[in-house]
Amino acid sequence: MGLTIGVLIAVGAWAGWHLYTLGTNALHLAGLVDTVQQHAKQGDVPALIDDLYDVHRYSVAAYNAASDPTVMALHAMPGIGDDLRAAREVTRVARDLTAATGTLASMAPRVTGNQILTEDGRIDLTLIGTVHTAMTELASAAEAGSKRLGSLDQGSLLPQIGEPIDRLVGWLEQVPGAVDRAEPYLQLLPLLLGENDERTWFVIMQNLDEARPSGGLLASWLVLHANNGLIEVLAQGTNDDLTATGNVDYSHAMDASYRTLWGDNLSGWLSMNLSANFPDNARLMRDAWNARGEAQVDGVVSFGQGTLPYLAAAVGPVDAGERSIAPADLEEYLRVGVYRDYEDPDTKDKMVASLMIQVFDKLMAGNLNLGYFLDTVTGYESADRVQMWSADPTIQQTIAAADLSGEFPSAEGPVSTVRLVNAGGNKLDTFMDLDVAYLLGDCEMDEEYDVEWRTSTMTVKLTNSVPDGLPPYMTGRLDLIDEGVDPSRVVVGSNRDFVVIYAPVGATIASVTVDGAEAYVHGAELSGREVALVDVETNPGTSRIIKVTWSEPATDSVGRALPTSPEVVLPPLANPVTLSLEPGNTCP
């Protein structure tokens, strides 16, 4: 009996020691939570590295204590069992997360200052690749941790345990999305900076305030030469510098149907992005630039107000006159602020060009700040996206694999798109909201032709959310002024857009209505798709609803069943699209 009591006392003491170790280290971890968040918000990377090492040390000790068999045996006890099980899971997640951040932490001193350059002045592309891999590992660890903690029955936990777990799950759920937002730029940089090859890019800034099918009006540009991390800006300017030399007739390079749709607009730099397929537009820009006889380019890269801030996030704030603009504020400044500060169009265009060149100047100097970058991608999301095209087929394959090509494929299947083209001659598309619903119809047999079809509908709601108080530069209606309308009669904030809807390959458009009434449609066929262009005007606070009905094939050209889940390919936009996709049934 005495021996048994002695063993129980020893086991109890052992369990008590591990519970004490678990509790002590868990308290240290809890105390570090606010410190880590504060240092991350401040972008204090050295302090954050120390925090992460401490978190890892405490979490390993706490998890080891929680995993001792004598402690795990207490999981069956009422009252404390659930809390002990939860504590083990939390410390495990903290251990795995900090292990996944170890690579990032070790590299942080290099990527937060001027230490990303090699001895010969090149940007270290191997380092960027390592950061990419490390962030992917962090996202995987965060996703796994979120699932583990999400499986806990938090209703049975003490509030002081359950509430922190709720907060931690919320944070973990944000990490994969933040990494997803960083992903295109981590893949972009090696391509842009000439990894394993020498290349020259025509880099453009598209103004999404004035929409075009593959983004927006070409605003500013630069020519960037890159050779395995060594970069140089060869030329730069605004759209005025391009148009000053006269029109560039590129109609011969476009499908004849484009002239049907756009008439005589195929003759200038400002309308060179009328295709929904970015590679088509990029080829035109490459050819038009090279025809000038200056530095020859072999590819095109496109940014907008929503994508330049991600690149800026890697290099830190930029200056607009005496104003310093943080990366997280850059989109809003480019969308509205720059028009308030610079009423003269030429001065405004030069400032936008200056902001873009500042980003690339800092890249050339090796100023890559991971703190700014992580802060931006964590709290910032845009409907814009970067697009690239290269004349080199091998590089283009890499671009497409990275989902940077901006392609609108001409393949068969229930795939459509909606594009806006500003027709008001203003900068208000940044306040136009789109709701798109694609209902794939049920499979039907056409007995006469022995083919299977679907009658599908796409409904597009265009809402004018223009606020009061915008500068006149943004709200003008040049289309009405050109028609002789008295400016005093123009509704401030009103807008006009061509809404261009592409039906699936092989589909036949049956009807188009606007607000329930039959609409006048300007139509064409482009790359095997019927296209409907609808001219729509909106006043502030109003919406217009466009409904298109079409018959589309349920099987491909060789009789194989096409997918039953519809898809809408979205262009770079200023605002996220509310998208609804309803699948059809499987053909009998």
Give the Cα separation of 115 and 368 in Å (integer).
8
In one-letter notation, the amino acid at residue 216 is G
CB 352 within 8 A of CB 335: no
Map residue 246 onto helix, strand or coil: coil
DSSP 304: -
Structural tokens at position 418: 């909606």
Which among 105, 168, 171 has a CA at the least distance from the CA of 135? 105
In the chain, CATH 3.40.630 sits at 198-390
**Angle of helix 45-66 versus helix 370-379 axis, rounded to 10:** 70
Query: pLDDT in tens for each of the 588 residues of the chain?
Result: 333 333 333 333 333 444 445 445 555 555 666 676 676 666 565 676 676 677 667 667 767 766 767 666 666 666 666 666 666 767 676 777 777 777 777 776 766 655 778 888 888 888 888 888 888 887 888 787 777 767 666 565 556 555 666 666 676 777 778 788 888 888 888 999 998 889 999 999 999 999 999 999 999 999 999 999 899 999 999 999 998 887 777 777 777 778 788 876 777 888 888 899 999 999 999 999 999 989 999 999 999 998 888 888 888 889 999 999 988 899 999 999 999 999 999 999 999 999 999 998 888 877 776 656 766 766 677 889 999 999 999 999 999 999 999 999 889 999 999 999 999 999 999 999 999 999 999 998 877 667 799 999 999 999 999 999 999 999 999 999 999 999 889 999 999 999 999 999 999 999 999 999 999 999 999 888 999 999 999 999 999 999 999 999 999 888 899 999 999 999 999 999 999 999 999 887
SS3 275: coil
Tell me how far apart the alpha carbons of residues 230 and 119 are, in angstroms, rounded to a whole number: 11
CA 468 vs CA 273, 404, 434, 491: distances in Å: 30, 36, 20, 12
Start and end residues for every CATH 2.60.40 domain found in the chain: 409-582
With CA atoms as reference, report the closest residue to 72 among 59, 87, 61, 58. 87
Under 8 Å between Cβ of 459 and 486: no
β-strand 432-439 against 578-582: which pairing, if any? parallel
The matching CATH number, chosen from 3.30.450, 1.20.272, 1.25.40, 2.60.40, for 409-582 is 2.60.40
Q: Distance between alpha carbon 409 and the CA centroid of its chain, in Å? A: 20
Q: Are strands 495-502 and 529-538 parallel, antiparallel or unpaired?
A: antiparallel
Report the alpha-carbon distance of residue 157 to residue 206 in Å, rounded: 52
Strands (E), 296-359: 299-303, 318-320, 323-325
Residues 6 or more apart whose Cβ sits within 8 Å of residue 434: 418, 420, 460, 461, 462, 463, 573, 575, 577, 578
Paired residues of 455 in beta bridges: 551
CA distance 43 to 55: 18
Q: Hey, which CATH number is domain 198-390, 3.40.1620, 3.40.630, 1.10.150, 3.40.50?
A: 3.40.630
**Residue matched to tokens 């992917």:** 136
Rounded alpha-carbon distances, angstroms, from residue 487 to 147, 472, 539, 540, 574: 59, 11, 15, 17, 27
Q: Are 354 and 244 in contact (CB under 8 A)?
A: no
The CA distances from residue 204 to 47, 103, 156, 179, in Å, are: 38, 34, 56, 25
> What pTM was computed for the model?
0.85
